[in-house]
């Protein structure tokens, strides 16, 4: 890996704000973003990504590559939970294993946002249909995770398949990005341009504030993870890294576009800490959120930002 990648990324203002958030917790600062403001920022980022993706998709004719990209993305989201579950189920139990597996099969919209910033540094742009791919990768892992829970521990799951599917799609983050994608796809281009200052121009500023809060949250939750041992800590870094590396290579058979391949790798390497916890609270009440949320947010997320993304991109550049 070229050290220049890491140096360049760590000079990115948005990443520096993430590090500032970690520092704030370490020195016990009273810096904080009000919860209501943070929720607005989160919704704005999802809205902006979805709307801009819909607009780009509107100008992109439907191709076989788009169709295969959707299939490939959903296949990744369904396959990762399967082997993840069997790697860890003997160590942490069925319920916890199902929740962790679903988390790592699903995707992180926040990591996706950070990946957009990385692409901009490299002079690449996001293809609109990849927003749709991300949205459709949210729920297959949840379904697989709960299915595994039902197979191996019938007493643990209390949600039917239809209710599970409804809950996955109705999750606020999923609904916002899918809804914004559809609205962007249907909106007139000239009228969409009228709100471009809101949908595009201020995006990076809100992203910086978002990552500031994520840095503080990461530093707080990593402490609670210490009770779960080094095995799961290694899992939270090694498995996502392997997922990202393998998908970075496999994606060449679906698309030759480096930005698309990079997004596939990042999504495969990410872990959900929004949609999955919301679903697993109902589907797997015995699972410990103090395990799978800190794993995704405290270890996997910062690893992908600091080291994972440069690694995946270098693999793509090599062929």
At residue 164, the pLDDT reads: 64
Q: What is the DSSP letter of 228?
A: G
Rounded Cα distance, 305 and 52, in Å: 23
Please report which confidence band the pLDDT of residue 81 belongs to, taking 50, 70 and 90 as the band edges: very high
Q: In the prediction, which pLDDT does 19 show?
A: 85
What does the pLDDT average to over 176-201? 84
CATH ID of 34-318, from 1.20.1530.20, 1.10.10.10, 1.10.3720.10, 1.10.600.10: 1.20.1530.20
pLDDT for 28 equals 92
Report CA dihedral (157, 173, 23, 5) to the nearest 10 degrees: 110
Among 147-151, 159-163, 172-176, 314-318, the range scoring the smallest mean pLDDT is: 159-163
Q: The whole model's pTM is what?
A: 0.76
CA dist., res. 319 & res. 259, Å (int): 13
CB atoms within 10 A of CB 250: 15
Average pLDDT score over residue span 37-54: 82
> At residue 6, does pLDDT exceed 60?
no
Chain-centroid distance, C-alpha 15: 16
Element (H, E) at 283: helix 275-283
Between residues 260 and 48, the one the model is more confident about: 260
* Domain boundaries along the sequence of the chain: 34-318
Q: What is the pLDDT of residue 288?
A: 79
Could you read off the pLDDT of 128-162 as tens digits, one per residue? 788 888 878 877 888 888 888 878 876 445 556 67
State the angle between helix axes of 172-186 and 129-136 in degrees (0 to 180), rounded to the nearest 10. 150
Question: Tell me: the pLDDT tens digits for 256-311?
Answer: 999 999 999 999 999 987 667 766 766 777 887 778 878 888 789 889 988 999 99
Q: Share the mean pLDDT of the chain.
A: 83
Range 239-254 average pLDDT: 96
* pLDDT, average across residues 8-29: 81
Between residues 275 and 116, the one the model is more confident about: 116
DSSP string, 105-136: HS--HHHHHHHHHHHHHTT----THHHHHHHH
Query: Which pLDDT belongs to residue 120?
Result: 83
- pLDDT of 215 > 50? The answer is yes
| Residues 244 and 268: beta-carbon distance below 8 Å | yes
């Amino acid at each position: 890996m070229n050290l220049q990648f890491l140096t360049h990324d760590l000079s990115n203002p948005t990443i520096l704000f993430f590090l500032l958030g970690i520092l704030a917790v370490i020195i016990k600062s009273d810096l904080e973003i009000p919860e209501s403001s943070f929720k607005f920022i989160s919704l704005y980022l999802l809205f902006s990504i979805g709307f801009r993706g819909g607009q780009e998709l509107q100008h992109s004719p439907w191709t076989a590559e788009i169709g295969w990209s959707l299939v490939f993305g959903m296949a990744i989201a369904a396959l990762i939970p399967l082997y993840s579950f069997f790697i860890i189920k003997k160590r942490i139990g069925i319920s916890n294993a199902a929740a962790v597996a679903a988390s790592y099969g699903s995707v992180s919209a926040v990591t996706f946002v950070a990946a957009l910033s990385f692409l901009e540094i490299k002079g690449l742009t996001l293809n609109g249909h990849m927003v749709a791919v991300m949205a459709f990768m949210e729920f297959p892992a949840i379904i697989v995770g709960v299915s595994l829970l039902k197979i191996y521990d019938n007493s643990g799951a209390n949600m039917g398949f239809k209710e599970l599917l409804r809950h996955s799609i109705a999750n606020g983050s999923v609904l916002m990005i899918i809804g914004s994608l559809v609205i962007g796809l249907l909106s007139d281009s000239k009228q969409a341009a009228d709100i471009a200052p809101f949908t595009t121009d201020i995006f990076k500023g809100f992203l910086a504030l978002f990552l500031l809060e994520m840095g503080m949250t990461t530093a707080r939750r990593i402490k609670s993870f210490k009770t779960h041992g080094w095995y799961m800590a290694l899992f939270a870094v090694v498995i996502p890294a392997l997922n990202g590396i393998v998908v970075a290579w496999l994606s060449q058979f679906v698309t030759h576009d480096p930005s698309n391949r990079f997004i596939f790798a990042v999504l495969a390497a990410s872990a959900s800490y929004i949609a999955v916890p919301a679903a697993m609270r109902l589907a797997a009440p015995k699972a410990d959120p103090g395990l799978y949320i800190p794993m995704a947010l405290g270890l996997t997320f910062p690893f992908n930002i600091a080291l994972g993304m440069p690694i995946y991109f270098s693999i793509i550049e090599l062929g």
